[in-house]
Amino acid sequence: MNYQMLRYVMGQIFKLTAALMGVPLMTALYYRDDGAVPILVVLLPLLFAGYVMTARKPVNQTIYAREGFVIVAFAWILMSVFGALPFVISGDIPNFIDALFETVSGFTTTGSTLLPDVESMPMSLIMWRSFTHWIGGMGVLVFALALLPSGSAQSMYIMRAEVPGPSVGKLVAKTQLTARILYGIYIFFTVLEAVLLRLTGMRWFDCIANAFATAGTGGFSVLNSGIGGYGNVWVEIVITVFMLIFSINFNLFYMLLIRQFSEVLRNVEIKVFFGIYLTTTLLITPNIMPLYGGSFWRALRYAGFTTASLCSSTGFGTADFTLWPAFSQTILILLMFCGACAGSTGGGLKVARVMILVKSGVSEIRRQLNPRLISTVKLEGQVVENEQIRTQGAFFILYMVILLVSTLLLSMDRYSFDVSFSAALTALNNMGPGLGAIGPYGNFADFTPFSKLVIIFDMLVGRLEIFPILIAFMPRTWKKA
């Protein structure tokens, strides 16, 4: 383990976190609210620690896969701990575990909240809460890679551990430029969304906060009543469109940018993703029509928004789907599993991974029928290596094990099975709302602290795609190689 390098990168992350806290700080100064002091109390020591830790450059800058995973896991955990402190200090969320829950939920773009009354917080802290979604969406380390002078050549290990999806490709030769392009696209769409929201008549603060929450596919809202609280169909349309945009593989936007349209048209994952979206919307709409006075258009409006919100793993709500028929709720649960496209900011298993798993399952059946058959799994016209299939299989098994064990641990709480199960599922997939008491208009406040810690763990595991967090907590990682 290269501890020097670990210290150095952590220092950079501290500095970056401090810099990012500048956004809520400015909000606090603009609105002259009570957030400024708590933010400064955290920001300044963080900045100082960051400068101390990065004062000396490590001599040996080589990092391997192990360091990459550990750096990513530590960065996320420490960032969440420090990100939670302003809430505790200001007294808005006095309990540290509660504040940590809220912050982890923000950084991992889950969007599960335990605040019954968001609107009573200072504006600056509401902004910080939404801004954590934006930072967590593309990943803070990718941001660090984009900004910092090109560091070690093995930065790919870090990027791979942080970017969601079964495989990470580079857009261009250099990691730094790749990271910059990704963030460029990210910023562009965020700004575009904020401007479009403004055109619907929303006030600027809400435009920006909601754009942050959509871009990271997070789901924290500014109003207690969620996006439904605006009661404006145009707001819902804009947000639906952008939730879908942010669940598309960002590489495709780059392909559009460099005019490789044929590459984009050939992409199968995006077609499957939109196929899933349209099918589920059309299945749910007639199912919920009776609830909305038999109006097809109203049902479509709520179904379209909710399915987009869940298959992008955002978790915004306009309608309380806990009141919907069981058929619709089951579809929504299945959507949570599937998630968004690989290489997007969305969570879940990822469409590409589901495709690999399903195809390898089918190919296995064919092989059982005819043992001598050579059957290869193809994705996007390219053969998926057996190694890759094995990794995805292992990923899925670990995912299920964590899901079931978490459900078991959460069931010790006082809730029914559907609540416990959906809490674990929604956390692991970085979704936000669950069923029953934790639906879009409920909150997680009444869970015991132990249950909250389990959910925090699930959220981190889900965002970093299982391996980094598990690896960081394995004793073997810390032994000498």
- Which residues contact another protein by CB under 8 A? 65, 150, 153-157, 170, 172-177, 385
Among candidates 298, 273, 263, 314, which has minimal Cα distance to 433? 314
Both structure tokens of 6: 């670990």
> Closest by alpha carbon to 149, among 7, 344, 8?
8
Q: Residue 291 gets which letter from DSSP? A: G
Task: Tell the smallest beta-carbon distance from residue 48 to another protein (Å).
Answer: 31
Dihedral angle sign, alpha carbons of residues 285, 288, 291, 293: positive
**For residue 384, what is the DSSP state?**
P
Q: 150 or 416: whose CB is closer to another protein?
A: 150
Instruction: Give min distance, CB of 28 to another protein, in A.
Output: 39
Is-contact 50 12, C-beta < 8 A? yes
Residue 170 C-beta: closest distance to another protein, Å:
5
Alpha helices (runs of H) in 54-64, residue ranges in sequence order: none
Closer CB to another protein, residue 47 or residue 177? Answer: 177
CB 5 within 8 A of CB 63: yes
DSSP letter, residue 149: P
Least distance (Å) between residue 387 CB and another protein:
8
In angstroms, give the least distance from the CB of 173 to another protein: 4
What's the rounded Cα separation, in Å, for the pair 127 and 131? 6
Q: Residues for the chain: how many in total?
A: 481
Considering the complex, what minimum distance in angstroms separates the CB of residue 468 from another protein?
16
Shortest spacing between CB 64 and another protein, in angstroms: 8
Closest to another protein by CB, 150 or 279: 150
Helix (H) or strand (E) holding 378: strand 378-379
Q: Which is nearer to another protein, 172 or 401 (CB)?
A: 172
With respect to another protein, which residue has the nearer C-beta, 7 or 170? 170
Distance CA 46, CA 50 (A): 6
Kindly tell me which of 114 and 255 has the beta carbon lying closer to another protein: 255
Q: How far is the CB of 153 from another protein (least distance, A)?
A: 5
- Kindly tell me which of 59 and 369 has the beta carbon lying closer to another protein: 59
Q: How many CB atoms lie within 10 A of CB 223?
A: 14
* Least distance in angstroms from the C-beta of 17 to another protein: 25
- Tell me, what amino acid is at 131? F
C-alpha span between 43 and 37 (Å, rounded)? 10
Q: How many helices (H) and strands (E) does the chain have?
A: 21, 2
Is the CB of 85 or the CB of 146 nearer to another protein? Answer: 146
Residue 383 sits at φ, ψ, to 5 deg, of -70, 135
User: In terms of CB distance, is 65 or 264 closer to another protein?
Assistant: 65
- Write down the residue that tokens 């991974």 correspond to: 353
Which residue, 97 or 177, is less far from another protein as judged by CB?
Answer: 177
Dihedral sign, CA of 396, 399, 403, 408?
Answer: positive
Pick 178 or 280: Cβ nearer another protein: 178
Ranges of H-type helices in 21-119: 22-31, 36-53, 65-90, 96-107
- Shortest distance, CB of residue 68 to another protein, whole angstroms? 9
Pairing of strands 378-379, 382-383: antiparallel
Spatial CA neighbour of 44 closest among 77, 75, 24, 22: 22
Residue 329, amino acid: Q
- Minimum CB separation of residue 177 from another protein in Å reads 8
